[in-house]
Amino acid sequence: MSHDPDAEATDGGHGASEVSGGSSAGPGQRGSGAGVAGGAPAAGGAHRIWVRVILVIATVLAIFSIFAIWANRQLMNPSNWAKTSTALLRKEAIRSAVSGYLIDQLYANVNVEGELKSGLPPQLAPLAGPISGALHNFAEQGAEKALEIPRVQSAWENANRAADEALVTIVKGGGSRVKINGGTVSLNLHQIVADLAERLGLPPSIADKLPPSVANLKIVTSSQLGLVRNLAKALHALALLLTIVTFALYVLAMFLARGHRRRTLAWVGSSLVFAGLVVILGRKIGQGQLVSAITTDSSIEPAANDAYSVATSLLVQVASAAIIIGIPVIASAWLAGPARWAVAVRRFLAPHFFERPGLVYWITAALLALVFIWGPIPATRNPFEMLLFTILAFVGAHVLREQIAEEFSDAGPLSTGAPTH
C-alpha cells in the first residue's frame, strides 16, 4: 500500500480537512454557491481562533495552578512541612541562625552565671562571670554542631510537624490540640533548648527550670485564626478549582479542534511544558528580587537564600510534574502525525500489532509499571491519579492501534511475509 505522509496532517482519516480548515466539498458541490466554499472555511477559522484563545487562557491558569498546588501542599500537608523544615536545618547558614536564637533563649531564661557559680569551688566562684561570657560564643558553635545530630534533627522535625498539624486542625474546624493551646499555633523548641543546655555541661535540673515559653515561637495567634482559616480554605479550593478548570479548557480545545485535533493535542502538551518552565524560571528570577527586598542585613542574606531555595523546592517538583506530563502528550501527538520518522515507526509496528493484537496493551502496561516504580512525580504514587494515567494511556494506545490498522490495512503478520508498505 502506497502511503502519502501529507495525508496524515489530520486525525482519524479526515484527509486534508486539517489543512483546509474543514472544507471538503466535492466536484459536484462546487457550483452550489459560496455557502460551502466560504462558510465552512470561515467557521473552521473561527474554531481555530477560539482554540488558540482557550489554549492561551489554559496556559495562564496552568501557571497559577502550579503555584496554588505548591502552596496548598506545602502549608496543608504536615509531612511536606516537616520535610522542608528538616531540609532547612541541614543548611549551614540556617543552622547558624537557629543555634544563635536557641542559645540566646537559653541565656535569657537561665542564670548561667549563677548555675556555674554554684558548681565551682568557693575560691573559683569569681570566675563564673567571665566563664559565662566565654561560654556564650562556644555554646553557639556547640549548638550548631548539635543541630547536625540526627536525634536533634528528629526533635526539630517533630516540632515542625506538630505545629503544622495544629494549623491544619484549626483550618478544619478545631480539635483537642487547638483547644488546649487556646487556639494558638506555635513551634515549640523547648526540648531542643533543654538538650543543648545538657550538652553544654549545665546541671540536668536546668531543663526543669526552663519556663514553658522558652523557644516557643507563635506562628498564628488566636486573633488571627479566622483570617488564617479562611485563607487556607480558599487556597485549598483554589488549587482544586484551577486544576479542574485548566483540564476542562484543554478538553474543550480538543473538542472544538475538529479536523486538527492531533496538532491541538501537541499544543496542549506544549502548554503544560511551557507553564512548568515559566514557573521554574520565575522562581529563579524571584529569588534574587525577593531575597534582596526582604533582607536589610547582608549578613543574613545567605540564610535567606537557603530558606528560599528549600521552601520552593516543592514548587520545582510541581512544575516539573507539568513538564513530565506534557512531554509524553507532545510525543504521542507527533507519533500520530505526518513526520517521516513517525510514519516509519507506525509502518514498523503494523505487522507486529497485526500478528499480536494485544501487544500494544502489554507495551503500555510495561511502560506504566516502569513509570509507577520510578515515581518521578507525586501523581505517579497517588492511587487515584495512577488510575487516571492508566485509563488515558490505554485509550491512547487503542487509538494508535486503530490508526495503524486503518493506515496500513494490507500489512499482514510477520510470519506470512506480507508486505509492510
Write the pLDDT tens digit of every residue in 224-233: 767 777 888 8
Residue 400 inside a domain? The answer is yes
Cell representation of residue 262: 492531533
Please check whether residue 320 lies inside any domain of the structure: yes
Q: Count Cβ atoms within 10 A of the Cβ of residue 230 and give its class: 0-12 exposed, 13-18 middle, 19 or more buried.
A: exposed
Residue 10 has pLDDT above 60, yes or no: no
Query: For 258-279, what is the mean pLDDT?
Result: 93
pLDDT band at 414 (very low <50, low <70, confident <90, very high): low
Within 8 A by CB and 6+ apart from 198, the residues are 204, 206, 207
Q: Work out the angle between the directed axes of helices 78-89 and 40-75 (0-180°, nearest 10).
A: 70
pLDDT value, residue 165: 85
Report the distance separating Cα 315 and Cα 277, nearest Å. 12
Answer yes or no: is 174 within a domain. Answer: yes
Pairing assessment for the beta strands 185-188 and 216-220 based on DSSP bridges: antiparallel
Structural domain includes residue 374: yes
How high is the pLDDT of residue 287?
85
The answer to whether residues 46 and 100 belong to one domain is: no
Check pLDDT > 50 for residue 405.
Answer: yes
Indicate whether 151 and 36 sit together in one domain.
Answer: no
Same domain, 144 and 210: yes
251 falls within a domain: no
* 210 and 311 part of one domain: no
How far, in Å, CA of 238 to CA of 371, rounded?
29
- Residue 192: pLDDT band (50, 70, 90) is confident
pLDDT of 391 over the 80 cut: yes
Burial of 58 (0-12, 13-18, 19+ CB in 10 A): buried
Mean pLDDT, the chain, rounded, equals: 78
- Hey, how many other C-beta atoms are within 10 angstroms of the C-beta on 308? 17
Are 189 and 159 in contact by the 8 Å Cβ rule? The answer is yes
The DSSP output letter for 12 is: S
- The answer on 95 and 25 residing in a single domain is no
- How many CA within 13 A on the CB side of residue 407? 34
Q: What are the counts of helices (DSSP H) followed by strands (DSSP E) for the chain?
A: 18, 2
Residues 99, 129, single domain; the answer is yes
Query: Which has the closest alpha carbon to 89: 18, 146, 165?
Result: 146
Let me know the angle formed at the C-alpha of 65 by 269 and 73, rounded to the nearest 5 degrees: 120
Higher pLDDT, 354 or 131: 354
Tell me what pLDDT residue 94 has. Answer: 85
**Position 230 in a domain:** no
Do 271 and 407 fall into the same domain? yes
CA distance 195 to 204: 9
What pLDDT, on the 0 to 100 scale, is given for residue 31?
43
Residue 216 sits at φ, ψ, to 5 deg, of -110, 95
Nearby residues of 178 by Cβ (< 8 Å), 6 or more positions away: 166, 169, 170, 185
* Structural domain total, the chain: 2
Distance of CA 387 to the CA centre of its chain: 19
3-state secondary structure of 219: strand
CA dihedral 96, 100, 105, 111 (to 10 degrees): 130
pLDDT one-digit tens code per residue, 11-69? 444 433 343 334 344 444 444 444 444 444 555 677 789 999 999 999 999 999 999 99
105 and 30 co-located in one domain: no
Place of cell 528538616: 86
Domain range for 170 is 76-220
Domain boundary among 188, 220, 252: 220
Inside any domain, residue 156: yes
Sign, CA dihedral 50-55-58-63, equals: negative
Per-residue pLDDT averaged across 229-253, rounded?
A: 91
pLDDT tens-place string over residues 300-346: 788 888 888 888 999 999 999 999 999 999 999 999 888 899 999 99
305/193 same-domain check: no
- Per-residue model confidence (pLDDT) at position 66: 95
Listed in sequence order, the DSSP H helices in 21-77 are 34, 40-75
Same domain, 301 and 170: no
pTM: 0.73
Distance CA 118, CA 288 (A): 51
More confident residue, 147 or 361: 361
SS3 of residue 282 by DSSP: helix
Average pLDDT for 243-264: 91
Q: H helices of 147-224, where?
A: 150-171, 176-180, 190-199, 206-209
244 in any annotated domain: no
Is the same domain home to 196 and 265?
no
Which residues in 100-119 are b (16+ Cβ under 10 Å) and which e?
ebbbebbbebbebbebbbee
Report the pLDDT value the prediction gives residue 166, as an integer from 0 to 100. Answer: 80
Residues 265 and 410 in one domain: yes
360, 393 contact by CB (below 8 A): no
Condensed to tens digits (0 to 9), the pLDDT of residues 93-150 reads 888 888 888 888 777 777 777 766 776 677 666 777 777 777 777 777 778 888 888 8
pLDDT at 194: 76
Residues 22, 41 contacting (CB under 8 angstroms) = yes
* CB-based contact 65:239 (threshold 8 Å): yes
